[in-house]
């Protein structure tokens, strides 16, 4: 049985981040579809199935090059979102010791220690200076 599966998977692309995302998304869409009215339920359910089918199509695909390119595209699209979530988490963890400002010129996030009164903040990225209360 295990041998048969290994033979079947030989030369196939397998699981990657995009396929993981697609199968998770299909699960979420199936759950959402359960709360919908009968008319839209079928359509949303079919979307979920399509996502799942596409995910399995990618896993069993033998076209490595194409699947790799798709995954790279997905990762490139996802990176800024991941970075933003990471930054938010860090800001939340440091909220007691630091205050965060956005640079008015380049929108970079700047961190200054809390409780220093009114201070001049100089952006590390573009050099813009502005006054803020901490
Ligand atoms: Zn700046």
Question: What are the CA-CA distances from residue 107 to residues 36, 76, 110, 132 (Å)?
Answer: 40, 21, 9, 15
* Ligand 1 centre distance from Cα of residue 101 (Å): 10
* Ligand 1 centre distance from Cα of residue 120 (Å): 13
Residue-wise pLDDT for 72-98, tens only, equals 999 999 999 999 999 999 999 999 999
* Ligand 1 centre distance from Cα of residue 113 (Å): 18
Residue-wise pLDDT for 20-66, tens only, equals 999 999 999 999 999 998 889 999 999 999 999 999 999 999 999 99
* Ligand 1 centre distance from Cα of residue 121 (Å): 10
Residues 110 and 101: beta-carbon distance below 8 Å: yes
Q: What angle do CA 49, 10, 50 make, to 5 degrees?
A: 10
* Ligand 1 centre distance from Cα of residue 82 (Å): 22
Please tell me the pTM assigned to this model.
0.76
């Amino acid at each position: 049985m295990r041998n048969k599966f290994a033979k079947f998977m030989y030369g196939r692309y397998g699981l990657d981040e995009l396929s993981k995302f697609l199968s998770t998304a299909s699960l979420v869409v199936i759950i959402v579809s359960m709360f919908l009215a009968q008319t839209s339920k079928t359509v949303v359910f079919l979307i979920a199935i399509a996502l799942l089918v596409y995910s399995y199509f990618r896993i069993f695909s033998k076209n490595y090059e194409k699947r790799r390119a798709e995954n790279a595209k997905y990762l490139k699209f996802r990176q800024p979102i991941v970075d933003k979530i990471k930054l938010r988490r860090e800001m939340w963890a440091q909220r007691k010791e630091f205050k965060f400002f956005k640079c008015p010129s380049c929108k970079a996030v700047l961190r200054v220690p809390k409780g220093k009164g009114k201070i001049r903040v100089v952006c590390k990225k573009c050099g813009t200076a502005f006054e803020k209360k901490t």
